[in-house]
Chains A and B, each alone.
Chain A
Amino acid sequence: EPEVTQTPSHQVTQMGQEVILRCVPISNHLYFYWYRQILGQKVEFLVSFYNNEISEKSEIFDDQFSVERPDGSNFTLKIRSTKLEDSAMYFCASSAGPWTTIYFGEGSWLTVV
């Protein structure tokens, strides 16, 4: 069964450093998402992406965040200057259409120290 894959599974970074989290969505999917889950809290929507542009974003997704589809297979989340409060599990997800089932990756655990 096709799966969303994410790398790295775990990253530790110093505060202020830039981080790029990578995702390979399911190959025939057109809609891509990032969600995050701070330890002990709810899974929160960050951003959705379609046709090479952001379609929706939450209040969390401020100027320090950016997303990109650099080639035909990867979808990345960049955090420009990490803060301690960015420590969380970041889930990439994809769906075939805007209202179809969303499939999640296994997550990238980011620890900012």
Chain B
Amino acid sequence: GENVEQHPSTLSVQEGDSAVIKCTYSDSASNYFPWYKQELGKRPQLIIDIRSNVGEKKDQRIAVTLNKTAKHFSLHITETQPEDSAVYFCAASSSSGSARQLTFGSGTQLTVLP
């Protein structure tokens, strides 16, 4: 089955700096890669996703890149703000089966220091 590795497990950046979180996946059939943000005690919320027919996607300060050959994808947050502090999870899934089955990374605790 799919295995997703995520690094780093913790990341501290100064406000205004950029943050990069990286994930690798094992199953070449995976074609959907979402990123979820989870604030303490709250639900995981989708912040951006990318499909395998696209190499990069951007939404304001957030961007995701995908390298299918190397089987890795990354989340980039620019101009970080204290409210970006949260745990970020990457995930991967394929279109096999009858419904999406997400395989998650282990999460990255991002702290943005004011």
The answer, among B36, B41, B98, for a CB contact under 8 Å with A56, is: B98
Among the listed stretches B13-21, B63-71, B72-80, B104-112, which one makes contact with chain A, having 4 or more residues with CB under 8 Å of it? Answer: B104-112
Say if the beta carbon of B61 comes within 8 Å of chain A.
Answer: no
Q: Could you tell me if A42 and B43 are in contact, using CB atoms closer than 8 angstroms? A: no
Residues of chain A contacted by B107 (CB below 8 angstroms): 42-43
User: A42-B105, A42-B106 are known contacts. Are A101 and B34 too (CB-CB below 8 A)?
Assistant: yes
Say if the beta carbon of A20 comes within 8 Å of chain B.
Answer: no
Residues of chain B contacted by A90 (CB below 8 angstroms): none
- Per the 8 Å Cβ criterion, residues 63-113 of A in contact with B are 91, 95, 98-99, 101-107
Q: Could you tell me if A106 and B42 are in contact, using CB atoms closer than 8 angstroms? A: yes
Point out residues on B near A: beta carbons under 8 Å. Answer: 4, 32, 34, 36, 41-46, 49, 89, 91, 95, 97-107
Kindly supply a per-residue 1/0 record for chain A positions 28-55, scoring 1 wherever the CB is within 8 Å of any chain B CB and 0 otherwise: 0001010100000111110010100001
Rounded to whole Å, the gap between the CB of B8 and the closest CB of chain A is 15
Q: Could you tell me if A56 and B49 are in contact, using CB atoms closer than 8 angstroms? A: no
Rounded to whole Å, the gap between the CB of B4 and the closest CB of chain A is 8
A44 to B46, CA, bound (A): 16
The answer, among A42, A55, A58, A107, for a CB contact under 8 Å with B99, is: A55
Residues of chain A contacted by B43 (CB below 8 angstroms): 3-4, 91, 104-107
Q: Could you tell me if B36 and A104 are in contact, using CB atoms closer than 8 angstroms? A: yes
Cβ contacts A to B, 6 pairs, < 8 Å = A43-B107, A48-B98, A50-B98, A98-B99, A102-B46, A104-B43
Residues of chain A contacted by B95 (CB below 8 angstroms): 99
The answer, among B4, B45, B100, for a CB contact under 8 Å with A99, is: B100
Q: Could you tell me if A98 and B44 are in contact, using CB atoms closer than 8 angstroms? A: no
Residues of chain A contacted by B104 (CB below 8 angstroms): 42-44
Chain A's closest residue to B42 (CB) is A106
